[in-house]
Structure 1
């Protein structure tokens, strides 16, 4: 009896090869999973989303491609890639049909959250990939791989792309597609590195017989796949830092006022803040804007809209109050769209 708790590299390769066959039952499971995920996004229900990701089979071909690149196995790469593209195509088709027929056309907070990937998605994908490499190599049954599938959230972005296609929203299509690529690329990268570290010598896997040109080709292809994610991650860090700085600036400078809205116009680099409370004088406004440098926001333009509770008509007053309440409700319904005490970004 084999007492080893982990598959050897050859055993793991053979296991993935045997699993990369899209049989009818797997197709039904995939369609059910994507259908459940669409409902979860449509109804803004994170519990339903978790259920969909638990039965999602999308992790397997991504891990297979990462292992294939690690051992330079073109057959495994090709088979895993074919399975992944097939699963993505089927998932897109199901999501398009669902959102086309769904009577709920409003984008929920869960759905919007999949259109703006941030640096935390990169960190989750890396950590999830590490756990996935270890969990998928264990022979005994474990809950690591399903947990990774939930954490990295591969299925919801595909559903969001389907929503974007149905309603012709290019921003949703691009944002969600990139989130999926980001997660997949970093999971593959970690699988690639982890497989190298966990690999043991095996007579059936003789890397010395592989030409240097082929090795360079595989590595170059993988590097080209991950470079956009790495550069974007840096850009996301800067964007996230700027949002945090703007949010902190508003919080610190208006401690006695109610901030009704914070809108950042990215195209003009303008932060528009609407506040309610005691009216500020021009000198006070100038003093507030002069403090921007303390938050690293020297180049930012700030426009302050003041709404005095005693100086506004009832209709407009209640309109602002409704907007404020809506923003607070959205804070409680999402944890990934940067709505919590952050700035709404408008690209104009």
Structure 2
């Protein structure tokens, strides 16, 4: 068990690790250019709602450097390293907010996409991700062989996307988005730092300064206070998130059992969770409700665990007409799509043969009928090929010269390179 949990195996020299950490803190030269590019990539990815682009920004972002540096500084009680780490983290944060805000001010597309919304409501799960991701990251930093964890940590403990989301909130005046995204950014920073502190203490890195018990106690107290400041709101947000998901499930269950299972066609549904009272809006294709019937249905909400919620059934003719139109358009689009697929399949086997027989008869008068189609031929290898085939009727079989004439004319008429011609016995 000691060997299983021993982090000293494969550990890099402590002096070398500290040198690497100090070098990764500064945002100058190449690090500054990488930071600026990561900010732009993340902002564009959030703007166009591209998960792949956002992940790319996570991978190239150098923001982990000063955060890990702060964790090391706390662990070895190096006040100069701590000041430098916090200063560079503050500068990079302000640069990130400035550049992303300018981008979202200038871009013509300002709608909040799902990639943005996903970073505006952090909860306890984000705390756990940041903490355990930070543990993996700092363990990798202290290894001789860094291995694969670093890219995964960059993705899991995403720092750049919430920072750019905060910039979006500033640019659009959505202060709730700004606050939520900055809280998520703070959670990631703090718990990566705490995870780093724990690993540094576990690996027994030597203190950079003489530390008395009072100073050590003060550091631990500040870490505890900051941890609680991050965790308590996160627990509340997690509770709200779970409550919201449970409410949506209860509403879906209510609508299914009370209306859809009874054969009612719903053309419009919308659930409002953040209103007081909460609201469920429905509209039906044909069914009409009296006020008493609506109240009866509303009373049934409690049986499904739904409280403090109004049921609103929209029945005004203009609204129903619009909702029905939208639904009919969706159905029409589906029908058109199926029809297009069928037509594409039919085109594989059918020629446009309007007036084919009358035109051919003018060339070869003895023809009594003529048809052309594409036939699917299976070979011994089970592979299929489609070839054009023409079938004609006549009193006597066509001569070789007439057959050749008909074949050449059909190739030109049907725009094919080859065609097989067969005689069908006259009726």
TM-score bracket relative to the smaller structure? 0.7 to 0.9
SS of the counterpart of 2:281?
strand
Secondary structure of the corresponding residue to residue 272 of structure 1: strand
Q: Is the 8 A contact 1:260 1:320 kept in 2?
A: no
Q: Which has the higher helix share?
A: 1
Query: What CA distance in whole angstroms lies between the structure 2 residues aligned with 1:321 and 1:124?
Result: 45
Aligned to 1:99: 104
Contact 1:70 1:195 in 2 (8 A): yes
Q: Does 1:273 align with 2:261?
A: no
Aligned to 1:198: 203
Following TM superposition, by how much is the alpha carbon of 1:115 offset from its aligned partner in structure 2, in angstroms? 1.3
Shifted more, 102-111 versus 305-314: the winner is 305-314
Shift of 1:316: 4.4
Instruction: Say whether 1:72 aligns with 2:77.
Output: yes
For the structure 1 residues 225 and 317, does the alpha-carbon distance in structure 2 shift closer, same or farther, using more than 3 Å as the test? Answer: same
| Structure 1 equivalent of residue 404 of structure 2 | none
- 1:301 aligned residue: 308
Gaps of 5+ in 1: 324-348
Please give the alpha-carbon distance, in whole angstroms, between the structure 2 residues aligned to 1:320 and 1:221: 58
- 2:320 corresponds, among 310, 313, 316, to 313
Deviation at 1:179, TM superposition (A): 0.9
Superposition pairs of residues 141-180 of structure 1, within 5 angstroms: 141-180=146-185
Name the CA shift for 1:214/1:44 in 2 (closer, same or farther; >3 Å).
Answer: same
SS of equivalent to 1:313? helix
The aligned counterpart of 1:235 is 236
Instruction: From the CA coordinates, give the structure whose radius of gyration is larger.
Output: 2
Q: Deviations over 1:324-348 (max 9, x none)?
A: xxxxxxxxxxxxxxxxxxxxxxxxx
Q: Is the 8 A contact 2:100 2:164 kept in 1?
A: yes
Matches within 5 A, 1:198-347: 198-199=203-204, 202=206, 205=207, 209-255=210-256, 256-257=259-260, 258=266, 260-266=269-275, 268=276, 270-277=277-284, 281-282=293-294, 284-292=296-304, 295=305, 300-307=307-314, 313-318=320-325
Paired with 1:283 and 1:104, the residues of 2 have a C-alpha distance of 43
Question: 1:22 maps to which residue?
Answer: 27
Do 2:122 and 2:234's aligned partners in 1 also have CA atoms closer than 8 Å? no
Larger relative contact order (Cα-Cα within 8 Å, sequence gap ≥ 6):
1
The answer to whether the 8 A contact 1:279-1:306 is kept is no
Q: Give 1:319 deviation, angstroms.
A: 6.0
* Matching of residue 126 in structure 1 with residue 138 in structure 2: no
Q: Tell me the matched-pair count.
A: 310
TM-score (norm 1): 0.80
Report the Cα offset of residue 118 of structure 1: 2.6
Give the aligned partner of residue 340 of structure 1: none
Helix, strand or coil at the partner of 1:115: coil
CA shift at 1:241, angstroms? 2.4
Contact 2:121 2:237 in 1 (8 A): no
Structure 2 gaps, min length 5? 1-7, 261-265, 331-427
Q: In structure 2, how many angstroms separate the alpha carbons of the residues matched to 1:261 and 1:10? A: 60
Other-structure match for 2:367 = none
* TM-score of the aligned structures, taking structure 2 as reference length: 0.66
